[in-house]
A = this chain, B = another copy of it.
């Protein structure tokens, strides 16, 4: 067995992951609407031989439009544009199972995978909150359990559609006029609770067979879904102990389903705030936190955890939180915030400062050595297979990570010095799925 390899994903969040990044002099907020900005970021990550870049997404405006950099490109089109400015790096887009049709979304990801030469990944989200539902003909969103039931069926359908053309279905014999072997192009004839889809897809099988499947739900439903479908998991932990417990639990669920534990990569988020000295890094973190606008942050927190805190006085201790069963938002994020607030007896203002850098993800401020130590510790002690790197400022924070942290990780033998694969699956060391129809035909 070859040495275990670290995996790094660059989370491209506008002009920086810190919620106040756009106010900082090292960010250019007008770049949010410039495709060249995102292509530049992806090229930096590719120079650092990252496995992939990732674009989050939502189907509503997040936060308070007055104080939030709320505008965004649709991610599959933006990644398509990025694919034309890069050669190797993987391209992961969030898309929701709540408000799309499987046939449409299967086509978009298949097309991205074809266009990029096998670099597409899908971060599967179910989308909490009524505000999104109200853009899609519903007053109230599906509840948490139903969202995951729908997601599960959505994956049944999309994976079948991606398999519907076997790899060798194309014949292209000019002489006989046979373009495809129709015995290798399959109707999927799905009839379920949420969807009825006949198929086949109107595209040949994509270079990766299916896009890499990524997932970030950490609730009970989320972990079950991840163990069934995910090949990489984005997750948020503040403490090493929570991370190792999550890691072990998820791998156990994966093997319980008969899958190989290595076939799901666990990538906690990390917000690396880098400085030449630790003091310099802490000063940058404080400078960014000082730019947070409380009214905006409270609204975002309310959206994030599904508990309304807009009328709570900033300098008073946080109230008792409701039971998680009453929360129809992202349950795992709710629990993380609740535990942090209660453990440290935080006021609302203190909590906002703790969350502003990474919305629940761990902020690590320090020198490149300190960041590399953190990465190595988590990677070698059962807390992570890699990291979802969330630079607080973009592009500068990503440049700093690539120029100063990546060389240390390489020198320690933890991270690749060049790409050995061509596709996103190859970067993550994951197999290319065989079409279910091809497998059946072998019996």
Report A's interface with B, CB cutoff 8 A.
20, 22-25, 29-30, 33, 35, 58-62, 64-74, 76-78, 80-81, 83-85, 99-101, 103-104, 107-108, 110-112, 114-115, 131, 134-139, 165, 170, 172, 174, 177-182, 185, 195-200, 202-204, 291, 293, 296
Distance (whole angstroms) from the CB of A351 to the closest CB of chain B: 19
A135 touches B103 (CB 8 A): yes
> CB-CB < 8 A to A137: which residues of B?
101, 195-197
> CB-CB < 8 A to A67: which residues of B?
177-179
Copies in the complex: 2
B83 touches A81 (CB 8 A): yes
> Which of B29, B35, B61, B101 is within 8 Å of A174, CB to CB?
B29
Q: Write the chain B residue with the least CB distance to A22.
A: B179
Give the interface SS of chain A, mostly helix, strand, loop or mixed.
loop
Q: Write the chain B residue with the least CB distance to A82.
A: B84
A81 touches B84 (CB 8 A): yes
Distance (whole angstroms) from the CB of A61 to the closest CB of chain B: 5
- With A and B bound together, what is the CA distance between A107 and B74 in angstroms? 6
Distance (whole angstroms) from the CB of A211 to the closest CB of chain B: 13
- With A and B bound together, what is the CA distance between A64 and B107 in angstroms? 20
> Which of B23, B131, B174, B204 is within 8 Å of A22, CB to CB?
B174
Q: Write the chain B residue with the least CB distance to A24.
A: B174
> CB-CB < 8 A to A200: which residues of B?
61, 65
Distance (whole angstroms) from the CB of A328 to the closest CB of chain B: 18
Given contacts A30-B172, A73-B114, A135-B199, 19 further A-B contacts (CB under 8 A): A22-B172, A59-B103, A61-B202, A64-B182, A65-B179, A65-B180, A67-B179, A73-B111, A73-B203, A77-B108, A77-B111, A77-B115, A81-B115, A99-B101, A100-B104, A103-B136, A104-B104, A137-B197, A177-B296
Q: Write the chain B residue with the least CB distance to A139.
A: B196
- With A and B bound together, what is the CA distance between A99 and B107 in angstroms? 13
